[in-house]
Chain A
Amino acid sequence: MNETELTSWADLVALGTRNAMSGLSQMIGRDIDVSEFSLRRVPVTELAMLVGGREQDVVGIYLTVSGAADGHLMLIYEPRIAYAFVDLLMMQEPGTTTGLGEMERSALAEMGNIIGAFFLNSIADATGLSLAPSPPEVMMDMAGALLDVVSADILLTQDETYLAETTFAVAEREVSGVFLVMPSEQLLRTLLEQAA
């Protein structure tokens, strides 16, 4: 991918991410601050390093992208942050949620739905492509185990993946998370052709 293509992709993902964060903000009725947005190519083996190593306990909300091309979307939180988000989503006092039952998983899945739909809709609007998110899967496990789901898919044909990483925080609450977008090479090519 050359510089122009990278910029073009960065613009698309930034647009999608802004839209996704705006959807999340509407959902929880609070402002969201994006503190970091980065775009790079990383070895698949290093994905777990982004979230504290393979043994780190994390909560992941995972969606696949299908339609014109495929890719992966994943939100990753420390468990205490995921609990704090559940409290926000369910309009509970901070500290109410201490584990993930069916209700809590459902709330987080809804958060995945909103972020996935807002993200993909804005990219679809900008490119005219039809891209659909899968129903979200909520997992709580070791980071390495969660990321195996994505890694196996990518390692089938590649060693590296393009990665858009967004770190965001909710205003007035000490909660922040990481939103990862990993397009397949095919999706990237399709997006760039459409955007050109």
Chain B
Amino acid sequence: MRLQSAAERRVLNLAEWAVTDSPLAVLGCLGLGSCVAIMLHDPERGVGGMAHTVLPDSTAGRPRGEDARFVDLAAPMLLREVLALGAQRRRLRAHLVGGAQMLRSAAMKDRAQIGLRNVEAAHAALVALGLRLTSDRTGGEHGRTVWLQVESGALMVTTAGKPAAQAAVRAA
């Protein structure tokens, strides 16, 4: 969806996505485990987008409509939508957050790889779209929450079990 009005704090659930040029908008994904938040931001135009992706590859599943569940479909869709709002491809900053390995036991090995596979798919998708990764807060073994402030491009990431928010990445 595209956000229109100002002063918005929008939480994206699994497979949801949003793009906006509202300077007051803050987009967030809460409690990302193996899921990966893909973010694109044009600091000059003040356009930002976020997708809460869940799975790496749409060919392995059953794609539904225009949601962001599959990384391989969500990344180009997000790019298309921020460009439609006036973002310039050469100015775009791309961020990835999430893709943790929540399961550790040998018995769960196949399922445990999902976070890693999501991150790999996101890297591949960004390369294919000719986008450079500005920040990459992926992997590890704990959940994360991320907020993207659209006007400044500031990214706020918190990790489960750690008290304070970690350093913001400035887009300016």
Chain A residues close to B by CB (< 8 Å): 44-45, 48, 53-57, 62, 64, 134-135, 137, 139-149, 151-153, 155-159
Contacts and interface: CB of A to CB of B under 8 A. Distances in A.
B46 interface: no
Contact of A145 (B33, B64, B69): B33
Given A149-B102, A152-B35, A64 B143 contact: no
Contact of A141 (B60, B69, B160): B160
Pairs of residues from A and B, 7 with the lowest C-beta to C-beta distance, nearest first: A144-B31, A145-B143, A145-B33, A54-B31, A148-B33, A142-B31, A142-B143
B62 A134 contact: no
Nearest to A157: B62
A141 B111 contact: no
A147 to B, nearest CB: 7
A151 B33 CA distance: 10
Contact of A144 (B64, B103, B111, B143): B143
A110 to B, nearest CB: 14
Main SS at interface, chain A:
mixed
23 contacts: A45-B13, A45-B16, A134-B108, A135-B105, A137-B104, A139-B102, A141-B160, A142-B33, A144-B30, A144-B32, A144-B143, A145-B32, A145-B34, A145-B102, A146-B33, A146-B102, A149-B33, A149-B34, A149-B111, A151-B54, A155-B54, A155-B69, A156-B55
A137 B105 contact: yes
Contacts of A62: 103
A135 B105 CA distance: 8
Interface of B: 13-16, 30-35, 54-55, 60-62, 64, 69, 100, 102-105, 107-108, 111, 114, 142-145, 160-161
Contacts of B142: 141, 145
A134 B62 CA distance: 26
Nearest to A53: B30
Given A137-B104, A145-B33, A148-B114, 16 more contacts: A53-B30, A54-B31, A134-B107, A135-B108, A137-B108, A144-B30, A145-B143, A145-B160, A146-B33, A147-B33, A148-B33, A149-B114, A155-B54, A155-B69, A156-B55, A156-B61
A156 B60 contact: yes
Contacts of A135: 105, 107-108
Nearest to A109: B105
B30 A54 contact: yes
A148 B108 contact: no
